A and B are shown apart, each in its own frame.
Chain A
């Protein structure tokens, strides 16, 4: 039986990897967009305007309080019914993950910028740098050391969360796995393999984030 289980994985590796491509496409696209929109959102959160502050706070908390699964599900059902546009599961997933990623990335950027010591900014201003110069030459180079490890961890979370898209009908790696199980009944091996697959994608990223964090700690 053990042999047949492992064989099932080898025989269906093509179909599983095909699903994995879809999983990664969603995760990487969302992450890529979130990186830029999140940067903007982080700067917006630093704003001194009270209304902007409140709105950005509510936006972030909305994602901290309501589960991503619920967001995903709502978008998938709500948008087509209300706006009358038919969106695929993939698009719904990318939209929701990008919105969520923007909120989280924004928080990482804000945290990094706020962690810089006041002295840095005051020294910069005192030698006559403009706001833009201050940001480009003083704040950004220091903040990026805190942003990158956080962004990598967000990447692992994004990959893990992408597993949920199977529940709104996207043919991802888990959906492919289910198809194989329907044919072969080898649930133990297929789910074991999927477990390992996600681990192999996330573990190197986690290690990298940890190493960079330690290296750049000052």
Chain B
């Protein structure tokens, strides 16, 4: 183990870690927005859109991210749509994560008991008030564990984006191994980087989950 190598290459890993976080952040945001829109469409049963969303969810959940980004990055230019690597990465994560988020939100909304909605109606709440004060607070609390699992899942999936030359952690590790042959050192830095990113996140999300659980009623 060459310790001086670890110190020397540390800045590159910090840089790469930031790329992982940045891509992960935008990807997760894209997934959240896609998920919310899909969930909205499914919940209010908007006629044709509902069918499209259902097809999208199945396509997204039953295909690997690697093929999705390869299609975006290598396939689309052939029909004249050229996207940058970063754009492909974020769209890919959004496409994959959107369906997982939609399922999580839908699960939360459906888990809100009928008695809750009937009670709300009986005290004269209108549709908007019902959403705002009765359904959403409970649905968010119920879907939070699934949503935070999706956060971690998507952040880990960024490692696949090394295949389309995004300079994130794995990609940088690959090029460093190619340059210096310090395999063990590079792999150690890589593993530790993921631990540093994901472990605190998973602890914070776990804490938020426990806090939100107070919002559950009637069980």
Contact = CB atoms under 8 A, between A and B. Distances in A.
A187 B160 CA distance: 19
Nearest to B194: A66
A198 B61 CA distance: 11
Given A66-B195, A190-B75, 20 more contacts: A66-B194, A66-B198, A67-B156, A67-B170, A69-B170, A70-B170, A77-B187, A82-B184, A160-B64, A161-B64, A163-B66, A188-B75, A191-B75, A192-B75, A198-B64, A198-B67, A199-B62, A202-B62, A203-B58, A206-B58
A181 to B, nearest CB: 7
Contact of B78 (A160, A187, A202): A187
Interface in A148-177: 156, 160-161, 163-164, 166-167, 174
Contacts of A187: 74-75, 77-78
Q: Is the interface of A mostly helix, strand, loop or mixed?
A: helix
B67 A163 contact: yes
A74 interface: yes
Interface residues of A, number: 37
19 contacts: A65-B194, A65-B198, A66-B198, A67-B194, A73-B170, A73-B174, A74-B191, A77-B187, A81-B183, A81-B184, A164-B66, A167-B66, A191-B67, A195-B68, A199-B62, A199-B63, A202-B61, A203-B58, A206-B58
Contact of B187 (A68, A74, A199): A74
B71 A192 contact: yes
A69 B62 contact: no
Contacts, number: 109
Contacts of B190: 70, 73-74
Contacts of A9: none
Interface of B: 58-59, 61-64, 66-68, 70-71, 74-79, 152, 156-157, 159-160, 162-163, 170, 173-174, 177, 183-184, 187, 190-191, 194-195, 198-199, 202
A137 B67 CA distance: 44
A70 B64 contact: no
Contact of A164 (B77, B160, B173, B191): B160
Contact of A64 (B58, B68, B75, B152): B152
With most chain A CB atoms within 10 A of its CB, the pick from B74, B177, B194 is B74
A65 B66 contact: no
B67 A70 contact: no
Nearest to B169: A70
Contacts of A57: none
A174 B66 contact: yes
A173 to B, nearest CB: 10
A69 B162 contact: yes
